[in-house]
Structure 1
Amino acid sequence: MARTIKEIKDSITGLFMSNAVLQAAYGFEAGAVFENEFSKVSVESILFDIVAFAIWLLESIFDNHKKEIDTALYEQKSGTPRWYRNMSLAFQYGFDLLVDSDKYDNTGYIDDQIEASKIIKYCSVKESIESNRLTIKVAGESGDALEPLDDTQITAFLQYMSEVKYAGVKLNVVNNPADKLLLNMQIYRDVLVIDQNGVSILNGDKPVEKAIRSYMKALPFDGELVLNDLIAHLRAVEGVNNANITVATSSYYNTATNSYSAFQPITVKTIPVAGYFEIENFNTVTYVV
């Protein structure tokens, strides 16, 4: 880890002050402190500052280089869940792989074209209880909203994964529409800030609905929704004195029936089957005093 500039300068000045030849030349005694003998604007002090900064910069570059190498080695361990996630995010829709390779030939394409072809914006990979099976959840993006890949896109992705995956590894790819989230909740409002319909008196927007959407957006893909964390997030909204979730339920898309399941209660926390949630409306949010 890189030393601080002060630590480096102290090391240099310590050697400088302990040198017998320099002691005789400058006329200071053994054991003298550099700062007591030289001012901050002295030539010696300025030179040591420059050298210390240069050494600190070099050590920082080495630290950053080591971090990049460690990260690259960690992420490029083939066959790990992280590797499968990186390969999923690297999928380029409309591009073909090089022969006998898991790489693309992007010669002749500009960066914008390459980036636009990477349609998988969110991905999580987890090992299933069944041996040799990985569950890969994916989602694309439209504006600020997450969305599933369409039929043509997911077909291309499945073919891509079949070519790059390790032999014998079974993949369960989840590409579902968002789980639906229904929140029956009471918002205890500050009557000076929020009206009975949840509208900010000052700004004219609905801060609670905005806060819920931002919280859902900030959740890690395929991460846990913790109800207490959501309540704490809402309590920080200006004009909200308290929040109470009376009932929280969710419904996931069942690919076997091509329909959504019945809403099931959420007690403390849950992980969405699709990897992300969608709140269709806020009709079950009431504002009380």
Structure 2
Amino acid sequence: MGKGGNKFRQEAVAQRVKQRGSFTNAELKKNMQVYLETGKHPAVEEYSRKVQDDKYGVPALPLREPTRQHVYMDLAYNSKPLDRLVFELFDDYAPKAALYVRGRLGPGASRAIRDTDATKLLPGFAVYFGAPKTGVRNDVERCRQLRSTQEGLLLAQRTGDHLAISLTRSLPLDEEYQVAGRVHKGGNAIKLLQKLSSRPPDDRPEGSVRVVACGACDAEGVKEELGVGKGGVQAAGKALEAAAGRQRETVASAVAHGLAAAAKKGTGGGSVAGQKRAAEGGVGGAAAKKGRGMLDAVLGGDSGSGSESSSDDDS
């Protein structure tokens, strides 16, 4: 090999290593698995996003990350259940918006949208939930990296109580709303919402679009509600009561054994010292009896039963 041959070979190896570093075998396997599950290849999606960014100057939404927080919405159209909507929240980009949405969808919230109807529908644009109040300043930051570039986005109003779901590319929504999440499951429900029409003058949907249930969930749409359901609160209360009872019994047993051992040690033996301790046991015994009475009041039981039985056995 002539002069410079080694240099050429090193540059070639470096170039190959650089290319291989972009797509390792593990990454290729993961991308293929995603493609088989969703029909979308991450590398192609990333390239399409970059092309879109260059064309419109609008940043693309982040890639999917299963470890992000998720929420669900169960909708019903004219009392007919639709597919469950599962949204991936961008809690790493807009944490306050994600927290606000979780609060509105969670149980017991003062402004919860559960068991309420959609208040507004702009066909081919967005559907709105919540009270149409204005002038309310929510603690929702503005993240310009998250834009309404596609359908199925969950948005929080920064100066009101509305939550919105985009039905198409809806960039004008970004003036008042902040993208908080993106639909992960439930595309059929989005398609049905896209076909609905509204009625004047308040732009309410022609039929009833009701939020039957909503809240936190995992990436598969499984609820993460604690103690929810028939008998959930009562069962939790009974479990706590049983645990407290077992704890009381344990403490009472330990104290009773301690008192029994102390009484046996104080009255044992026929020596002069033992007789002296027995003679002095009148005052100490009264104090111990008083202490056991106070313990009974706290534990709700007879803490001296163990010591009395031990004394009876000794006699």
TM-score by length of 2: 0.21
Q: Whose radius of gyration is greater, 1 or 2? A: 2
TM-score by length of 1: 0.22
**Which has a greater percent of strand?**
1
**Which has a greater percent of helix?**
2
